[in-house]
Structure 1
């Protein structure tokens, strides 16, 4: 039997008694009926096999005493309701454009007087066929954590009726949060059968009289398929999320001039003393600006080096700093253990044990595999030093994997493999996605050596990911690397298991995003839409993990060419990339007001003048940069430029596209072709970027086989902008004025 609050008990009994619906609509297997109760407007939904769920679209603690206006049209119904506390307007619509109907309701409140709101009930009640919530059963698979997307993904199993994805568009709550100084963290939750969204309690500052604010903006997608098995759950979650995403109001993006941003960041990275330490005649990057108390880490060196390699290959420039980094790498190798180490052995005496992992010889499980992955990338590009470090460390990595049976703890000792911390939290297990990044490392070893044993190791590790289901996510970049490795394994072996596991990892990624914009408090100073959290319980988004996920998702789409992947994966991946290319610049402290920067960060210092990314961007009421200014997040610009700026041979302009692209070809000098990835239902932007002061040529831009050219818009900076969509073939032809 399910426990209920007094509000749920009252609602269930009264819903059972109401007979006359104000509005009804059928969409596929679902029937929606709108009822007015004394203190609520309910949308009672009949689902297949006798399932019932009710959504509270409006609530007034003292009851509504007047329904002033009811307007009905082909899309839905609108109410204007009066009470002592104020006027509410409710708009209810049902979108039935696909086999998955979506219910939408938006509610605004205009307070009659300055109004405190100490409590608000949740807006979902599973009622069952006979209106009895206690006898229903189901499972909540995903729910909001912190300031992630305000969603619940659930299935009703008694009766077995439907899967539901509920999403509250928290962007719409900005005025409410700004006035009341409240946060949208953890506002969507609850437990079966009473869950959903509840307004954050406003007890410090009231809502102002006479000012209309949105107090709910809900989207609910329904699927009559009740998923049970984990792979089906992951795919259904991705599909329902994409279905709602197409209906969400989404903020516009802006063009950021990344060539200039990169130049500033490269200069500060090389020249700022706070970025460097010197040990035994070699220079090493600090993890954080002016953090001289922590010894150099190999992960930090390689996390900066690999994006620099991408940029050097794209720009055809030699960067001396790359040699400086490479020269210091061999010193991380420990001959006795037979592996690279996390901490530079020559500086381990700096470790004081103030944190669990800050001890000599201690390894955080993913910290072994991430550098190995980056060394393998260098090795496959022909770097002999990296190849030797990589191959010389592989046997130790395999030994560790087998010792832990491909289920890694959090911390262990390198010399004895003694576990120092087994679980991230009690009952939560260790670093679950390390099996995926380990599989990626083994695939790299197989590609480099062609030895079958490495492919066998990759498969052994990958299969263990079945143990975790939707809880596979530990750290964002590693989960995304895992998704890419699993896709590669699928292409090599044609075993469906690995493709399904890759979707499981991607579901973990997208459940940890923030698909809303925090436009209250300090959040008004920077965009946050579609940001990604580094850990499943992290309170902030982080530059380093985001830029690595960005690059890994590009690789995923590249590897997916020729594979029929889920349309929802194409859509969500391309949209995450598009929004990151705009908002990533706001990790640089110079883009933010100084008053929102933390004066005393946990590590090192924050210098607003340096173009080095902050580790953290917080909720709107928290200052950012609380962890520090991370040098290892410097790959930000170096990852974006080579993937979004297409260099045109022998010309003084570049082609910029904010979506991922493929198949870029220059034909006969004045004719180029490429394709956008993603979904054709969503827009993206192409710009022709002036590289110098010369006049741009005359361009003709066409889509696919169409002959009518697109019309470009000249920007204030002299660039040309064209509207595109996902999944299009683009042709660009040009001629200079004197031709």
Structure 2
């Protein structure tokens, strides 16, 4: 039996003893409305007679009087009054072809009110007995500033499952006027679960101002999910259904080629980005951090997208040559592998953090630089090829020692575990087996030696037991998803495709699928942000870039695979918003008052085109960690993926993942997203000639929705064949 609060102890009896206000039947589901005095309940009755109650309005220390009730085929509006103020509850059923419920509640207080507590809005009911005797499994719920969702199965009684989504964008005005936060508002302890309005600890709720205090969507099924593959597939499908019902923020275009040039200039001339050792220049991890030794990951995190940009632009970049020249110095003869820290500078490690010790390795750090070296080697770089092949035997030795389940920290010489788990009972760095598999597949492509493919498979199978908690660090989980898709294509073993979906579920439950329009969050679009770790309080430039790049590649690799339909919505839409959104990591794009005065590492130069590591929404200032030099590859990663060079006079920009072919005086672009969604295509004048191009979508001539001398803009279907002629 569960312990419950007074606000739920009598709820079932109150509902049973109240009259039905109205009833609505959608397919095999019945929705009954009750006024129980201090609460307006919507009870969903499932086809098997299981019941779930949703508290659509709460009267606090008062009772409701219904002053108006409007009901037509589309919307139910209930006007409620209490001694404290007036409420409006609006209910609709968005999809008549499936059981779904949408309810909103707005409240106008008669006097300023301090609200110290608010009850959760979901309560599973029983046919007979008490709600505290119910049982259920919460598969996913909100953490911190992530999406306000809850996905659960009710197992006692055997009712079914529901997917609940609180649209936290709608809560922004409430949070703004009360100086509260919408983070960690959806969750709870069974059986009292769902959304809890933030308590007003700072400012009271003002009087005579109507504020939305709930905007909830619910999807139902009679299925009860136990297997990870079923949980993940239903999570992704449900997320898409909700996504299509949400109002999405306006997409902002950023001139990424221009940003890339600014980044090159600032990296070239700003001494705070660099340190020197033995005649070689090395990038600092953070601007003006001269105390920490150079890191291999930092050099390669910038160099790899920079080489992509170099190929796209056709111009040799001196900075690329400088970075490549310094790489061999990271090879450590003691372990016969490249090291995280420059071996000649390890005496500078101040041991202020766990990882800042000689020969102490953070598990994912071993694989990440080698992945980038392998990518460079596949492009023909001989320095990178030698380094990765000289290091790979050590990497395999470590994998065998830990039996493909890596701890957080270990000693690189002795392989002694220094820190086994991220938290007690949580395991080590869960997604590192996927990173290892990704590295092995890259080396397999480089050498065609089957032992590396076998290693990839052995590691991938270790992911099977992790369930939905597969994500340790978002970029590595994204690379894992791609490796698993590739293994599926090579072996045709469905296990790998299912595990790929598990990785993607881990990513999409770690996003912020709302726009925070209060506090400092209102200064930039943060819709569809992704957090770097499960418990990270901020989003991070470098991890966001790598997730964006990895998902772009995933979508290209999936073109000949019948992937889950939901992913054809979520991946392109994530990329579209990422291209619009991640420019806000550059401090020059933000108002100065939202930049932190105190910086953990180095310093912030607000006019420099080097991104902040950390962006917070809500009331916290950004840049608290520092200005992240290793995130400086951001623009170099975006430009080659979203811009097509026609010639010296024109660029074509498209903000969906795409494949294109150029032939004569035409470009053909293939999109394989969702036909219900749309993306943006722009023809941009880069030279002297005027824009005189024809754009065809599925052979139909399109008209630009906006034209200037320098740019023609088009809205394109998410699933289309585009031909541009000139």
The interval holding the TM-score normalised by the smaller chain is over 0.9
Structure 1 residue aligned with 2:34: 35
**Residue 609 of structure 1 aligns to a residue in which SS?**
coil
Query: Contact between 1:514 and 1:530, CA under 8 Å: does it hold in 2?
Result: yes
**Residue 265 of structure 1 aligns to a residue in which SS?**
helix
Match for 1:711 among 700, 703, 711?
A: 703
Where does 1:519-558 land on structure 2 (aligned, <5 Å)?
A: 519-558=517-556
**Residue 102 of structure 2 aligns to a residue in which SS?**
strand
Match for 1:685 among 660, 672, 680?
A: 680
Cα distance, 1:335 vs structure 2: 1.8
Match for 2:657 among 638, 649, 660?
A: 660
Does 2:73 align with 1:74? yes
Structure 2 residue aligned with 1:673: 668
Whole-Å separation in 1 of the counterparts to 2:497 and 2:546: 21
Structure 2 residue aligned with 1:737: none
Query: Contact between 1:517 and 1:527, CA under 8 Å: does it hold in 2?
Result: yes
Cα distance, 1:259 vs structure 2: 1.3
Whole-Å separation in 2 of the counterparts to 1:38 and 1:395: 70
- Over residues 657-702 of structure 1, what are the superposed CA-to-partner deviations in whole Å (9 max), with x where a residue is unaligned? 111112x122331x221122321111211111111343211x3222
Whole-Å separation in 2 of the counterparts to 1:633 and 1:470: 28
Cα distance, 1:26 vs structure 2: 2.5
- Over residues 253-299 of structure 1, what are the superposed CA-to-partner deviations in whole Å (9 max), with x where a residue is unaligned? 11111111111111112211010000111110000000011000000
Structure 2 residue aligned with 1:467: 465
Where does 1:391-402 land on structure 2 (aligned, <5 Å)?
A: 391-402=389-400
**Residue 561 of structure 1 aligns to a residue in which SS?**
helix
Whole-Å separation in 1 of the counterparts to 2:439 and 2:717: 35
Moved more, 25-34 or 288-297: 25-34
Does 2:688 align with 1:696? no
- Over residues 111-134 of structure 1, what are the superposed CA-to-partner deviations in whole Å (9 max), with x where a residue is unaligned? 111221111111000112226212
**Residue 298 of structure 2 aligns to a residue in which SS?**
helix
Where does 1:633-644 land on structure 2 (aligned, <5 Å)?
A: 633-644=631-642
**Residue 276 of structure 2 aligns to a residue in which SS?**
strand
**Residue 203 of structure 1 aligns to a residue in which SS?**
coil
Query: Contact between 1:24 and 1:31, CA under 8 Å: does it hold in 2?
Result: yes
Structure 2 residue aligned with 1:10: 10
Query: Contact between 2:297 and 2:368, CA under 8 Å: does it hold in 1?
Result: yes
**Residue 274 of structure 1 aligns to a residue in which SS?**
helix
Cα distance, 1:34 vs structure 2: 1.5
Query: Contact between 1:8 and 1:194, CA under 8 Å: does it hold in 2?
Result: yes
Cα distance, 1:224 vs structure 2: 2.4
Match for 2:305 among 296, 304, 307?
A: 307
**Residue 355 of structure 2 aligns to a residue in which SS?**
coil
Structure 1 residue aligned with 2:149: 151
Where does 1:724-739 land on structure 2 (aligned, <5 Å)?
A: 724-734=716-726
Where does 1:558-577 land on structure 2 (aligned, <5 Å)?
A: 558-577=556-575
Which stretches in structure 2 are left out of the alignment for 5+ residues? none
Query: Contact between 2:706 and 2:714, CA under 8 Å: does it hold in 1?
Result: no
Query: Contact between 1:16 and 1:130, CA under 8 Å: does it hold in 2?
Result: no
Where does 1:131-280 land on structure 2 (aligned, <5 Å)?
A: 132-280=130-278
Superposition TM-score, scaled by structure 2 size: 0.98
Does 2:105 align with 1:110? no
Moved more, 30-39 or 519-528: 30-39
Which stretches in structure 1 are left out of the alignment for 5+ residues? 735-739
Whole-Å separation in 1 of the counterparts to 2:118 and 2:463: 40
Cα distance, 1:169 vs structure 2: 0.5
Moved more, 423-432 or 488-497: 423-432
Structure 2 residue aligned with 1:44: 43
Give aligned pairs, total. Answer: 726
Query: Contact between 1:62 and 1:83, CA under 8 Å: does it hold in 2?
Result: no
Structure 1 residue aligned with 2:714: 722
Query: Contact between 1:48 and 1:162, CA under 8 Å: does it hold in 2?
Result: no
Query: Contact between 2:556 and 2:657, CA under 8 Å: does it hold in 1?
Result: no
Query: Contact between 1:177 and 1:184, CA under 8 Å: does it hold in 2?
Result: yes
Whole-Å separation in 2 of the counterparts to 1:435 and 1:54: 42
Whole-Å separation in 2 of the counterparts to 1:273 and 1:109: 55
Query: Contact between 1:188 and 1:195, CA under 8 Å: does it hold in 2?
Result: yes
Q: 1:10 to 1:456 in 2, by over 3 A?
A: same
Query: Contact between 1:114 and 1:207, CA under 8 Å: does it hold in 2?
Result: yes
Whole-Å separation in 2 of the counterparts to 1:65 and 1:87: 9
- Over residues 299-340 of structure 1, what are the superposed CA-to-partner deviations in whole Å (9 max), with x where a residue is unaligned? 000000001011011111100100100011001011221111
Where does 1:246-395 land on structure 2 (aligned, <5 Å)?
A: 246-395=244-393
Query: Contact between 2:294 and 2:342, CA under 8 Å: does it hold in 1?
Result: yes
Moved more, 80-89 or 302-311: 80-89
- Over residues 328-363 of structure 1, what are the superposed CA-to-partner deviations in whole Å (9 max), with x where a residue is unaligned? 100101122111100000111110111011001111
**Residue 106 of structure 1 aligns to a residue in which SS?**
strand
Q: 1:398 to 1:45 in 2, by over 3 A?
A: same
Aligned-residue Cα RMSD (Å) equals: 1.3
